[in-house]
Amino acid sequence: MLPKAELHVHIEGTFEPELIFAIAERNRVEVPYPSVEALRSAYQFSDLQSFLNLYYAGMNVLKTEQDFFDLAMAYFAKASAQGVVHSELFFDPQAHIARGVPFEVVINGLDQAVRQSKQTHGLSSSLIMCFLRDLTAESAMEVFNQSLAHGDKFVAVGLDSAEVGNPPSKFKNVFDKARAEGFVTVAHAGEEGPPEYVWQAIDLLKVSRIDHGVRSLEDSKLVEALKEQAIPLTVCPLSNVKLKVFSSMAEHNIKKMLDLGLNATVNSDDPAYFGGYVEDNFTAVRQALNLSKAEEIQLCRNSINAAFIDASEKAQYLSQLEKSAV
């Protein structure tokens, strides 16, 4: 197993049914399913929205700092066992604030886990605060202003949730402000939405990476721009198949991305819902697309190079990769 960075994982999407039930019991709240098995068997999706409905329902049981800490520590244990040496976690503060859970509770619980993961697993990590694109631009600005008191606890801002009908242009002002405050930016684009949304994420939101971006290949000029600007794509193969972006893994375009010279990486997105963590994604792609060892190493190298870490950390992880690749 090769060392790699994971750059596209929603912490709320790592919430395994067993932990949902355990935390629900601790907090004395009801899960609207009779058992772990019944909940897990509901994980059949027709598109992004059908998944998001269950994803937002699952996180309802999270109430305390301890809950967010436990959630992240459970993810770090799984990720570490799958060769992840560095991870950048998305979190969705608006989904928690709307339920009456204060921003501080969410970020403090996650921040403590980020610190602990280095000690427990030797795994470095950081947080990326996402705006929910199906809410208003005003709501995004409000949560961003609130987050500034905790600006030392996250490294970037991102954009997630229901893509179609919610273009990046809607969030230009808050992304301008985030960059002015010193944050780098990323955005989900070209998952279900058209190549135009990827253009907007690059040109208007000035993103450092595109999350998903698989529909970029429909636009050859966009492929050229992504190559020219060396913009990494955080691709999530199992997610794309589960949410019917591709009809099967054999249809997935990640190998094509490498052939085109794009800077693709492999990630798990919402591993508790999509059937696997990052190494499981590598295994699925390897089997369906006959990836060579050299291509797999390239995907891992891309992930380390695309991480928001300093040059000395990158050099250290890259040398770890080159050593284990022989």
Where along the sequence are the contacts to ligand ADE (CB under 6 A)? 10, 13, 48, 55, 160-161, 188, 191, 239, 269-270
Rounded distance between C-alpha atoms, residue 66 and residue 73, angstroms: 10
Q: Which does 13 bind (CB under 5 to 8 A by kind): ligand ADE, Zn ion, none?
A: ligand ADE
Q: How far is the CB of 89 from Zn ion (least distance, A)?
A: 11
Q: Which of 88, 163, 191, 295 is catalytic?
A: 191
Q: Which does 215 bind (CB under 5 to 8 A by kind): Zn ion, ligand ADE, none?
A: none
Contact of 88 with 124, CB cutoff 8 Å: no
In the complex, minimum distance from the CB of residue 293 to Zn ion, in angstroms, rounded to a whole number: 27
Among residues 15 and 65, whose Cβ is nearest to Zn ion?
15
State the Cα–Cα distance between residues 124 and 309, nearest whole angstrom: 9
Of residues 256-285, those binding Zn ion (CB under 5 A): 269
Residues in the chain: 326
Q: Would you call 313 a catalytic residue per the annotation?
A: no
Of 6 and 269, the one with the shorter C-beta distance to Zn ion is: 269
Tell me phi and psi for residue 98, to 5 degrees: -60, -25
The residue among 63 and 170 lying less far from Zn ion, judged by its C-beta, is: 170
Report d(CA 166, CA 79) in Å as an integer.
Answer: 31
Q: How far is the CB of 306 from Zn ion (least distance, A)?
A: 15
User: Which of 65/191 has CB closer to Zn ion?
Assistant: 191
* Residue 88 contacts Zn ion per CB under 5 A: no
Give the footprint of Zn ion on this chain (CB under 5 A): 269
Q: Which residues are catalytic?
A: 191
